Amino acid sequence: MPEPQIVDSHCHLDFPQFADNLDEVITRAVTAGVTRMVTICTKPTEIAPVQTIAQTYAPVFFAAGTHPMNVMSEPMVSVDELLTLAQHPKMIGIGETGLDYYYTKESADLQKTSLRFHIEAARQSGLPLIIHSRAADDDMANLLREEYQNGEYTCVMHCFSSSPELAKAALDLGFYLSMSGIATFKKSQELRDVFAATPVDRVLVETDAPYLAPMPHRGKTNEPAFTAFTARFGAEIFGLDYSAFAKQTSANFDRLFTKAATWTGP
C-alpha cells in the first residue's frame, strides 16, 4: 500500500545541502508520502531560486519574505514587492518573517517594522503569514494581537517551540501551530504537552529542512521525506493512527494555504 499523503509545510530546498541531489530529495519525499512541499525564502536574494524550484517540481510551492535574523543585512522588503510576488500562481505564503531575540535582539525594532510589512502584505493578498519566533514571546503575542485588531489575517507559527502562552495567543487569533522535528526530541516533553493541548485541526507538520531532523535521524541533514517521522510522533501525541493524522494535517494545510489547495497545474 502507498504511504498516507502528507505535507511538508516548511523547508528550504534552495539551501546548499540540496544543491547536488534535489531530484533525489524530491523523489524520496514523494515515495514517503510527502506529496506537497513548501520551500521558504529567508531573504530577497533567495526569491528567484525558490521560485525556480517551485516551477520545476510539481509537488513544490514557495513563500517569500525576510527572516528576522536577516533584516539588518538585507534591504527591507516592501508591501508592494510582496504583493507583486504574491501574484505568482505557486507563491502561497508570506514569509518567513517574525522576531528572533535569541541571536539578533539588537535589531528588534527593525524586525518589528519588517514583520508589520509582511502582515500587511498577508492581509492584502489573503495569503497566510509564516512566522518565526524565538525568545520573543511577549513582543510576538502583543504585536500579532495588535495587528489583528487593525485587520484580520491568517498565520502559521512555523516550527513552534515556544511557550504555552504564545501558543494560546496564536490559537485565540485562529492561527495554526506547525510541528517540527523538535517535538520528537527526548527533552521536548513540555513542547509535546503544548501540542497535546492544541486542537488537532490547527496543527501542521514540517521539517524546516535541512535543519532539525527528527528522531531517529537527529543530527543528520533533514529532508522533506522525514516529515513522516515527525507526523508519526504527532499521531501518538493526539492518540490517532498515522493515516488519520496525515489526513487531518493535510486538510489543515489546505484550509490555511488555500492557494495550494486549489492548484490545478502540473
pLDDT in tens, 190-240: 999 999 999 999 999 999 999 999 999 999 999 999 999 999 999 999 999
Q: State residue 136's pLDDT score.
A: 97
pLDDT in tens, 77-134: 899 999 999 999 999 999 999 999 999 999 999 999 999 999 999 999 999 999 999 9
Q: State residue 166's pLDDT score.
A: 98
Q: State residue 265's pLDDT score.
A: 82
Alpha carbon distance 255, 171 (integer Å): 15
Alpha carbon distance 138, 100 (integer Å): 12
Q: Please determine, for residue 181, whether its predicted confidence score (pLDDT) is greater than 80.
A: yes
**End-to-end Cα separation, the chain, in angstroms:** 24
pLDDT in tens, 2-52: 789 999 999 999 999 999 999 999 999 999 999 999 999 999 999 999 999
Average pLDDT, integer, range 140-148 = 98
All domains in the chain, ordered by first residue = 6-256 (3.20.20.140)
Q: Where are the alpha helices (DSSP H) in the chain?
A: 22-31, 47-56, 79-85, 101-104, 108-125, 137-150, 164-172, 189-196, 227-237, 242-256, 258-261
Split at pLDDT 50, 70, 90, the class of 76 is: confident
Per cent of the chain over pLDDT 90 is 96
Q: Which three cell numbers stand for residue 137?
A: 514571546
The larger pLDDT score, comparing residue 2 to residue 75, is at: 75
Q: State residue 2's pLDDT score.
A: 77
Q: State residue 206's pLDDT score.
A: 98
- Predicted structure pTM score: 0.97
Q: State residue 3's pLDDT score.
A: 86
